[in-house]
Amino acid sequence: MSQINLLAAAGFTLDEGVSLLYLLAAALFILGLKQLSSPKGARQGNFTAAFGMLIAIIASLTVIRPSGGRIVLMAVAVIVGTFIGAVLARRVKMTAMPQMVAAFNGVGGGAAALVSIGEYMRLVSGSSHGVVLAISVVFSVVVGSLSFAGSAVAFAKLQEMMTGVPITYAGQQIVNGIVLLGIIGFAAVVIGFSSSIPILVILLVISLILGVAFVLPIGGADMPVVISLLNAFTGLAVAASGFALGNTVLIVGGTLVGASGTLLTKMMSDAMGRSLSNVLFAAVGKVTESSAGAGAGAGQDQAVRSGTADDIGVLLAYSQKVIIVPGYGLAVAQAQHVIRELADLLEKRGVEVSYAIHPVAGRMPGHMNVLLAEADVKYDQLKEMDEINDEFKLADVALIVGANDVVNPAAKTDPGSPIYGMPILNAEEAKNIIFMKRSMRPGFAGIDNQLMFDAKTIMFFGDAKESLTKLVAAVKSS
C-alpha cells in the first residue's frame, strides 16, 4: 500500500502509475532484446528482460481487487507454475534444449487462448462487447491454440516420441486448407453475428487440429524454424489478448516477440539456404519411393572403406592440420568432453586442430557452440562456416563426428536433392575424410550422402563417445 501513497504523493493516480510501470517494463524488454543480440551482453540481456517482467507483474498486482480466497488460489497457481518451469529448465540436458523451448512456447500460447476466452465470457455475460473485442479474442484463441498444438508436435518429434520423418498423405494441403477455411468461417460467425461461447470453443478445437496438421508434414531437421515461427505466433496471440484486455504491456511484449520472432525465423531458414515456404510445405526429409530405391541401390553397389581405431589414430597423430566437423551424433552421445580430450592430445603433438561449426549443426543454430562451450573448448578454435570453408583443402584430415547432412556434397551438385542449395562445409576437399557414424543410416534430413563412398573417405562405425575414446587410446600409443 505504501506504493500507492508514494504514487499519490507524486501526483499520479494508481492507474497512471501502473501505466508508467508498464512502460518501464516495455522499455526493459526492448533493451533486453537488444543486449541478447550481441555475444557480450547476451546474458545481461536475459536478466534485463526478466527484471522488466517482474516489474510488470508487480504493477499488475496493485490494480486487482480479488477476494481473499481467490488470492490464495492465484498464489498457489503461480507457485505451481514456478516450480514446474524451474525444475524442467534446470533438469533439461543441453542436448534436449530445443524441445524444451518448444514446450515453454506451447504453454504460453495455451495461456493466451485461455486468457482471451476468460475475458470474453466475462464481458459477454455483461452483454457489452464490440467488434474489436471479438476480433482480438478470436485471433488470440485461434493463434494461441495453433501454437500450443504445433509446439506439442514439435516437442514430440524432437524428443523422438514420434517419428521425425514428415508425415504426408495425398491431398494433405487441401485438407489443411479446408480446416483453415472452417476456422475462418466460424471466426466470421463469432465476429459478425453471435457472441456464442460454444462456437468459440469449437474454434479452439479446430485450431488445435490445424496446429497438429500444420507441423506433421515438416521434417524433424526443420523443427527449429517451426519453433521459431510458433514463437512469433504466440507473441501475436499475446498481443491480441492485450487488445482484448486493453493492456498495453501485453500489446508491446507480444508484438515485440511477434515481430522479432518473424525476422528470426527468416534468418534461420536463410542460414539453411532455404525459403520459409520450402521449410513449411516441402516435406523435406520424406524419402520418396524412387529416391529411396536409388539410395538403397547405391548403398549396395558401392563399397565403403572402413578403418580400425589404430589406423585412424596414426593418421591423426601424423597430420599437420585436422578439422573436426561436429554434429548432432556427437551431442547425443555426450561426446563433447572426449572430443576435446582428443583435440588437446593432438595439439600437444603439434597438430593444428579447429572445429568447423555449420550454422545449423546440432539441432538449432548455435546449439553446437553451446555444447562445445560446455566442454570448455576454446572459443577461438570454433570456426564458423564462412571462415573455415577455404581451409578444408589445406587440411590433412576432416574428422566428421556424428554430422551428415551438413557435409553432403549433394547440396552443391545434385539439383534433385531436397537439400540442394543449402550451404555446406567443404569437408570433401580435405586430403582424408574420417566419417564417424553409428551406421550407414541417412542423416536427420533422411537423404543419402555420397561422401561416404568417396575414395578418400574412411568410415569408422560406432557410438561417437566409444569411438572417440578408442581414438584417444590409439593416438596415445602411436
Return the active site residues.
405
Cα(238)–Cα(228) distance, rounded to whole angstroms? 15
Residue at 140: amino acid letter: S
**CB of 7 vs another protein, minimal distance in Å:** 18
Nearer residue to another protein within complex by CB, 250 or 338: 250
Beta-carbon-side half-sphere exposure of residue 467 (alpha carbons within 13 Å): 25
Least separation in angstroms between CB 227 and another protein: 7
Q: Does 296 bind another protein (CB under 8 A)?
A: no
Distant-in-sequence contacts of 418-424, Cβ < 8 A, 24+ apart: 418/282, 418/284, 418/285, 418/445, 418/447, 419/284, 419/445, 419/447, 421/273, 421/274, 422/272, 422/273, 422/274, 423/271, 423/273, 423/359, 423/385, 424/358
Q: Is 369 in the site for another protein (CB under 8 A)?
A: yes
Q: Of 22 and 435, which has the nearer Cβ to another protein?
A: 22
Residue that has been written with the C-alpha cell 519453433 in this structure: 227
Of 168, 167, 153, 360, nearest to 269 by C-alpha is 360
CA distances 261 to 7, 52, 155, 239, Å, are 36, 19, 18, 13
Residue 13 to residue 29: CA distance in whole angstroms = 25
As measured in angstroms, the least distance from the Cβ of 69 to another protein is 10
Stretch that binds another protein, among 207-215, 261-269, 312-320, 469-477 (CB under 8 A): 261-269
Residue 72 vs 296, nearer CB to another protein:
72
Out of 20, 24, 111, 314, which residue is the one contacting another protein (CB under 8 A)? 111
Interactions with another protein, residue window 377-436 (CB under 8 A): 378-380, 384
In the complex, the smallest distance separating the C-beta of residue 214 from another protein, rounded to whole angstroms, is 19
The single residue among 7, 112, 153, 411 that binds another protein, judged by CB under 8 A, is: 112
Q: Which is nearer to another protein, 22 or 460 (CB)?
A: 22
> Which listed range, 176-184, 198-206, 368-376, 396-404, lies at the site for another protein (CB under 8 A)?
368-376
Q: Using CB under 8 A, which residues numbered 69 to 88 contact another protein?
A: 70, 73-74, 77-78, 80-82, 84-86, 88
Residues between 328 and 367 that touch another protein (CB under 8 A): 357, 359, 364-367
Please give the DSSP secondary-structure letter assigned to residue 306. B
Task: Compute the least distance from the CB of residue 456 to another protein, in Å.
Answer: 29
| 89 binds another protein per the rule CB under 8 A | yes
Contacts of 141 (CB under 8 A, 6+ apart): 113, 116, 117, 200, 203, 204, 207
Q: Does 243 bind another protein (CB under 8 A)?
A: yes
Q: How far is the CB of 47 from another protein (least distance, A)?
A: 8
- Which one of residues 245, 322, 436, 472 is an interface residue with another protein (CB under 8 A)? 245
CB 234 within 8 A of CB 144: yes
Of 224, 102, 223, 207, the closest CA to residue 144 belongs to 207
Q: How far is the CB of 397 from another protein (least distance, A)?
A: 25
Determine the interface stretch with another protein among 94-102, 199-207, 286-294, 394-402 (rule: CB under 8 A). Answer: 94-102
Q: What residue type is assigned to position 474 of the chain?
A: A
Which of 3, 20, 24, 30 binds another protein (CB under 8 A)? It is: 30
Alpha-carbon torsion angle 236, 237, 243, 248, nearest 10: -60
Residue number, 267 or 294, with CB nearest to another protein: 267
| CB-CB contact of 154 with 99 (8 Å) | yes
| Interacting positions 124-143 with another protein (CB under 8 A) | 125, 132
The whole-angstrom separation of Cα 373 and Cα 331 is 12
CB of 286 to another protein, least distance (A): 25
DSSP 400: E
The two beta strands, 397-401 and 432-437, are: parallel
Phi, psi of 173 (to 5 degrees): -65, -35
Nearer to another protein, 14 or 57 (CB): 57
Rounded to a whole number of angstroms, the minimum distance from the CB of residue 30 to another protein is: 6
Residues numbered 444-463 forming contacts with another protein, rule: CB under 8 A: none
Pick out residues in 202-241 that bind another protein (CB under 8 A).
Answer: 224, 227-228, 231, 234-235, 238-239, 241
3-state secondary structure 211-276: HHHHHCCCCHHHHHHHHHHHHHHHHHHHHHHHHHHCCHHHHHHHHHHHHHHHHHHHHHHHHCCCCH
Considering the rule CB under 8 A, would residue 150 count as an interface residue with another protein? no
> By CB under 8 A, how many residues form the interface with another protein?
114
By the rule CB under 8 A, 149 interacts with another protein:
no
Identity of residue 289 = E
**Contacting another protein within 32-71 (CB under 8 A):** 32-34, 36-40, 42-43, 45-47, 49-50, 53, 56-57, 60-61, 63-66, 70
Q: Rounded to whole angstroms, how far apart are CA atoms 255 and 105?
A: 15
Cβ proximity to another protein: between 126 and 416 the closer is 126
| 148 versus 460: smaller Cβ distance to another protein | 148
Q: Which DSSP category does 399 fall into?
A: E
Number of CB atoms found within 10 A of residue 64's CB? 9
